[in-house]
Amino acid sequence: MDLVLNKYFCSRFGFDTFDDFRKFMKEVDEGYDEKNKSNFFYALLSRGEQLRISKNKLEEYDLNITQYVKHINKNRDEKVSVKYFQYLAILFTEIYLDNFFADPVYFLNDLNDFVQSINREIGFSMKDLKKLAFGMATGSGKTLILHANYLQFLKYNKGSNKIDFDNILLITPSEGLSDQHMREMAKSSIPCKRFSNETDSLIQDDSFKVKVIEIHKFTENKTGNGVSVDIESFGNKNVIFVDEGHKGLSGNAWKNFRDKIVKKGFTFEYSATFNQAISNNNALSEEYSKAIIFDYSFSHFHNDGYGKNYEILNLKKDSYDYQDILLLGNALSYYEQKLVFDEEHKMANEYNIEPPLWIIVGGSVNKETNVLDNTEDISDVLQMVLFLKKFLQNENNWSVQTIGRIMRGESGILDQVGQEIFPFGKFWYIQERFGHNSNSISDSISNSIYLDMLQRIFYVNNACYLHLIHLKNANGEIGLRAGTSNKFFGVINIGDTPKFARHAREKAIEVSSSEFSESLFNKIHRPDSEVNILIGAKKFMEGWNSWRVSTMGLLRVGRSEGVQIIQLFGRGIRLKGKNFSLKRSTELKEHELPPKPIGILEKLGIFGIKADYMERFREYLRQEGIDIEEEKQFKIPLKIKIKDDFLNKRLFIPRVNASNFKNEVLVDLKLDENINITVDLTARAQVLESDERESFQIYEQRENRYLKEEYIQFLNWEEIYFQLLDYKTENGWDNLIFTKETLREIIENNRYSLYCSEEMINPTTFEEIDFIEKIVILILKKYIKTFYDREKHAWAQKHICMEQLTKEHENLNFAEYSVQVFSKGESKENFVKFVEEIKEIVSKKIDDLWNGTGNNNYLQNIHFDRHLYQPLLAQINSQKIKISPTGLNSGEQRFIEDLKKFFNKNSKKMKGKELFVLRNLPRKGVGFYEIYGFFPDFILWIKANEEQRIIFVEPHGLAHGWNERDKSKENLSNEIKKIEKEIQKNKDYKNIFLDSYIISVSSYEQVRGIFEGKSRKELEKKHILFQDDPKYIEKIFTY
């Protein structure tokens, strides 16, 4: 499907495709500066001439998005932060609604001009402009987008083009999903209620309240009482939000109902599976190509590092001969996750992993059968229950012996190429836990594993019977208990429970009932739920929300329903991630490999019965661009060679433990006469360029203004205080304290310079009073940061010490790189061959690599013989290899190469001087990050006799913006001289000199806008140089 609307919005930012836009934005860190401008804003602003939106508009949109997120977070315990793709979805909508309500005719013409410019034959009509659709992968936060869209619509629905709507409706496919939406909207402070035919009428006194209704309740020409609602009662001027928007697209009735009630209204639709639902319908494809404003498919989601890894294991034989063995393998996979979660609980908490949950979904619940022993006629759900019974009873020691077979790699179930699907070592954590790394897994070891499974999963100590308890107080639920345990280890969630209970009794399963037990399913999503296994049919595919799903058993589910399959897949692939990043640990911007066991908890296992079903599942994932083969990996150590003769040169290095500042110093915010911060709210414009292409700025007439006491007293100081407490928490300033009285004192004593128009500080309405409150918060944020930074810098200058560089230093003690080799779809033979090739390079050819003559397609040494160790590896642009510590990026590589060229060409200038270089490992080596937000990539020593000049260099890709934390680096070259002065007070270090440089990898022309008009020369004075300057290395050596 050709998404022309999406292409239009990508073009507004200078991108031909969303994929190009995605690659640009995904490198931008989340976060805000003290002016509440996001890092995404600065990144987009850096697009310069390619940006087809004014800076003022972009700034306005960014501030609006910040306000929406603030509104959504107001009553949330777990605050949400927008990821880059969520930000873009909201930003695109922001631009769309602004243009639509301001001048829809102009907007329509602009869209059609764009369509012609890209040679498309379709055209937009005014009717087309009244629908927006969002393709969002399950787990990517479409609920957050929906909530933001609601706030956006209310903001922009005004003026001459305002829609005087009758209702705001949220249409869902099921009551379960309706309940989920009601809970989420309550968290986001969005008013909502269930639509009721009895209490809702044409005239509403709560028109901004979202009324939630299921799609199947719409009808025409209603007769009788019932819960259905005649669409005529809604009118045709409604604003509707449609979740699972693909529902009903394959037929006419439901879509027609939706279209009728929004004929003069507006539609927002959301789905993870638009493409699949309309792929064979040309008319729908054209309609949605003009409606889908944002499409973030699962392939984008997963390739960006979000969500879990996954493996798909399929029972190849089209029979049930090996079904129970596969299910036991499924049970072992779940048990290993449970084992890791229980024994590595601190790690699991750090990465926000919920207690693992095993779900088993069957295509059928109840089947009538005449021949009880014919298992093909037994329902899928009952098949699973019979397996649990068999496992728990362990008749003839079947469970223990089968565990041994699987652990030894002898299950007998083979994959498509004839390989064992449970090879030895697959369950490595279980093996290590029970102390056996050889494939001679004895019966006693297997028995120990079995007993531990019983305890952790089923809450019993020995083999026992299975009990089913019909929970009559919980609709459609049957609880599962083992032996004499009073804990429910599982729950069956289905429709006709009495009928299922009868079939279970026919299979000699004990069934009883309980009149008083509460629902197990309704609490299963909670971390304190004791339920480990959820069994059911299609009932809970939609409208069920849980972060616990860790492994799945699928028995003939949706053999012809690709949409349902991917929805179910999405239930398990979601991940909160460390720091709520939504990302798996291997994709985080951290420079050490995550703990190995976390990979077990961050992998969704899918175990399928019936090969024809799984093949369709696999094909669906292939179409989504998803790699479906299980990935293998192998670690190879690569030793580094340290130059001991360089270390004997007595190279010194500074050290400061910034965490001690928080532990040792209590920062009590005070009124300080020496602090006067500046807040500039005047407009500015770039008006001309000099011959040197350096920009100049003009400003509105600037006059320093102060807030009047008569308005200050009306401000909500309680709200200001709490907002600044949030600001303190966001910045991690745990040792900072302040009071409301101090905050007010700072404002009343005018410890600021405010440049703004006179109208801004002379309000005439309550809304304008609110704006003054925002100004006060902005002033106080800058004051607090200035005060805190001053205290921190003063402390740091007195606590930085010098030490001699040794092999024990963090930059040298890693001893070896870890080279991880991944299969990435390779056959076993090719993967083994590839591993052997890398092994040969790091063993037999290591000397060539150290000397810089052994570079190859996979391992590149950026060789410079003045570096303290070899090799200095480059970052690998391959999905097949990862190295830790991470290799040099392109900007860092160029710096080393430029430094090498300068050194080799300037032997006369370097006469009497020695140069030494060391790569400073991120977050591990020498850093001023906690103090100055600076973590240099390289340390240079220029040594001449007793004099030693230490230079810290950070090549920085500024094209993605220059936020407030980065701006503090502009003064680092001055601050580091203060440190130098303190160090030189010690006579042993009187000949040590310090310097720092930021090297922009981006050209001056690309990024000059973010430096607010500063010329190259002005930036050079602050030690900010540009890599495209042929003399930038020379300038480092001559300052």
Max Cα distance, the chain (Å): 101
pLDDT at 245: 57
CB atoms within 10 A of CB 552: 26
pLDDT at 562 over 70: no
pLDDT at 561: 54
Average pLDDT of the segment spanning 462-468 = 96
CA separation, residue 341 to residues 312, 333, 575, 782 (Å) = 22, 13, 15, 43
Q: What's the sign of the alpha-carbon dihedral 604, 608, 611, 614?
A: negative
Examine residue 299 and state whether it is found in any structural domain, yes or no. Answer: no
The answer to whether residues 38 and 90 touch, using CB atoms and an 8 Å cutoff, is no
| Closest alpha carbon to 587 in 143, 886, 823 | 886
**Sheet strands (E) in 768-909:** 801-804, 816-822, 869-870, 881-884
In this structure, what token pair is assigned to residue 101? 């309500």
Chain centroid to CA 881: how far? 23
| Residue 74 to residue 78: CA distance in whole angstroms | 10
| Residue 310 to residue 569: CA distance in whole angstroms | 10
Examine residue 531 and state whether it is found in any structural domain, yes or no. Answer: yes
760, 783, 799 - which closes a domain:
799
Residues 555 and 676 in one domain: no
pLDDT at 696 over 70: no
CB atoms within 10 A of CB 985: 9
pLDDT at 73 over 80: yes
pLDDT at 992 over 80: yes
| Residue 451 to residue 449: CA distance in whole angstroms | 6
For residues 36 and 16, the model is more confident at 16
DSSP 649-696: T--EEEE--THHHHHH--EE----TT--EEEE---EEEEEE-TT--EE
Residues 581 and 665 in one domain: no
Residues 342 and 446 in one domain: yes
Chain centroid to CA 161: how far? 37
Residues 480 and 363 in one domain: yes
Examine residue 154 and state whether it is found in any structural domain, yes or no. Answer: no
In this structure, what token pair is assigned to residue 819? 């080279």
Average pLDDT over the chain, rounded to whole?
Answer: 84
pLDDT at 201 over 60: no
The answer to whether residues 751 and 776 touch, using CB atoms and an 8 Å cutoff, is no
Amino acid at 74: K
Segment 972-984, tens digit of pLDDT: 778 788 888 888 9
pLDDT at 442: 83
pLDDT at 951: 93
The answer to whether residues 728 and 667 touch, using CB atoms and an 8 Å cutoff, is no
Highest mean pLDDT among 271-280, 426-435, 439-448, 603-612: 426-435
What per-residue string of b and e applies to 735-774 under the rule 16 or more CB within 10 Å gives b? Answer: bbebeeebbbebbeeebbebbbeeebbebeeeeeeeebbe
∠ CA(947), CA(951), CA(957), 5° rounding? Answer: 170
Those residues whose C-beta lies under 8 Å from the C-beta of residue 764, and which sit 6 or more positions away, are: none
> Picking from 532-546, 712-726, 805-819, 1010-1024, which range would have the lowest pLDDT averaged per residue?
532-546
For residues 87 and 516, the model is more confident at 87
pLDDT at 938 over 70: yes
- The values of phi and psi at residue 229, to 5°, are -125, 130
CA separation, residue 112 to residues 105, 124, 291, 456 (Å) = 11, 6, 14, 62
Amino acid at 962: W
- Count H helices and E strands in the chain, helices first: 37, 37
Residues 584 and 724 in one domain: no
| Residue 324 to residue 395: CA distance in whole angstroms | 14
Beta bridge partners of 384: none
| Residue 373 to residue 928: CA distance in whole angstroms | 72
Residues 613 and 670 in one domain: no
CA separation, residue 1028 to residues 534, 891, 954, 1003 (Å) = 60, 11, 15, 6
| Residue 492 to residue 479: CA distance in whole angstroms | 6
For residues 440 and 881, the model is more confident at 881
Highest mean pLDDT among 73-82, 565-574, 873-882: 73-82
Examine residue 510 and state whether it is found in any structural domain, yes or no. Answer: yes
In this structure, what token pair is assigned to residue 816? 């070896």
Segment 998-1039, tens digit of pLDDT: 998 888 877 776 676 678 888 898 899 999 999 999 999 886
Examine residue 124 and state whether it is found in any structural domain, yes or no. Answer: no
- Helix (H), strand (E) at residue 295: strand 292-296
Residues 577 and 693 in one domain: no
**Sheet strands (E) in 407-542:** 466-471, 477-482, 490-493, 510-514, 533-536
| Residue 262 to residue 281: CA distance in whole angstroms | 22
Those residues whose C-beta lies under 8 Å from the C-beta of residue 67, and which sit 6 or more positions away, are: none
Chain centroid to CA 476: how far? 35
Chain centroid to CA 941: how far? 39
- Token match 């590595």: residue? 344
Segment 579-623, tens digit of pLDDT: 888 899 888 876 556 888 999 999 998 888 764 556 666 666 666
pLDDT at 490 over 90: yes
| Closest alpha carbon to 64 in 163, 151, 157, 141 | 151
The answer to whether residues 816 and 639 touch, using CB atoms and an 8 Å cutoff, is yes
Amino acid at 863: H
Examine residue 904 and state whether it is found in any structural domain, yes or no. Answer: yes
pLDDT at 821 over 90: no
Segment 784-795, tens digit of pLDDT: 988 998 888 788
* DSSP letter assigned to residue 918: E
Task: Report the phi/psi class of residue 66: left, alpha or beta, with left for phi > 0 and alpha for psi in -120 to 50.
Answer: alpha
Q: Treating both helix axes as pointing N-terminal to C-terminal, what angle do 84-102 and 104-117 enclose, rounded to 10 degrees?
A: 120
pLDDT at 692: 33
pLDDT at 1015: 86
Residues 622 and 692 in one domain: no
Q: How many domains does the structure of the chain reveal?
A: 3
The pLDDT-based confidence of 187 (bands split at 50, 70, 90) is: very high
Average pLDDT of the segment spanning 305-315 = 84
- Token match 């769309």: residue? 96
Examine residue 26 and state whether it is found in any structural domain, yes or no. Answer: no
| Residue 126 to residue 16: CA distance in whole angstroms | 25
CA separation, residue 314 to residues 118, 337, 379, 383, 892 (Å) = 44, 20, 19, 17, 45
pLDDT at 256: 78
pLDDT at 203: 45
Highest mean pLDDT among 572-576, 663-667, 901-905, 1001-1005: 901-905
Segment 646-673, tens digit of pLDDT: 999 999 988 776 667 888 889 999 999 8
Those residues whose C-beta lies under 8 Å from the C-beta of residue 585, and which sit 6 or more positions away, are: 351, 577, 578, 594, 598, 599, 602
pLDDT at 277: 60
pLDDT at 631: 58
Residues 626 and 663 in one domain: no
pLDDT at 917 over 90: yes
pLDDT at 697 over 50: no
Burial grade of 60 (CB within 10 A; 0-12, 13-18, 19 or more): middle
Query: By residue range, what is the domain housing residue 579?
Result: 309-630
Segment 515-527, tens digit of pLDDT: 878 899 989 989 9
pLDDT at 344: 94
Residues 951 and 866 in one domain: yes
Segment 102-122, tens digit of pLDDT: 999 999 999 999 999 988 888
| Residue 889 to residue 894: CA distance in whole angstroms | 9
DSSP 338-353: HHHHHHTHHHHHHTTP
Residues 481 and 428 in one domain: yes
Average pLDDT of the segment spanning 225-254 = 73
pLDDT at 686: 32
For residues 802 and 157, the model is more confident at 157
Q: Treating both helix axes as pointing N-terminal to C-terminal, what angle do 398-407 and 323-343 enclose, rounded to 10 degrees?
A: 80
Examine residue 546 and state whether it is found in any structural domain, yes or no. Answer: yes
For residues 819 and 394, the model is more confident at 394
Residues 408 and 516 in one domain: yes
Whole-number percent of the chain with pLDDT over 70 = 83
The pLDDT-based confidence of 699 (bands split at 50, 70, 90) is: very low
In this structure, what token pair is assigned to residue 428? 């490595």
| Residue 713 to residue 776: CA distance in whole angstroms | 12
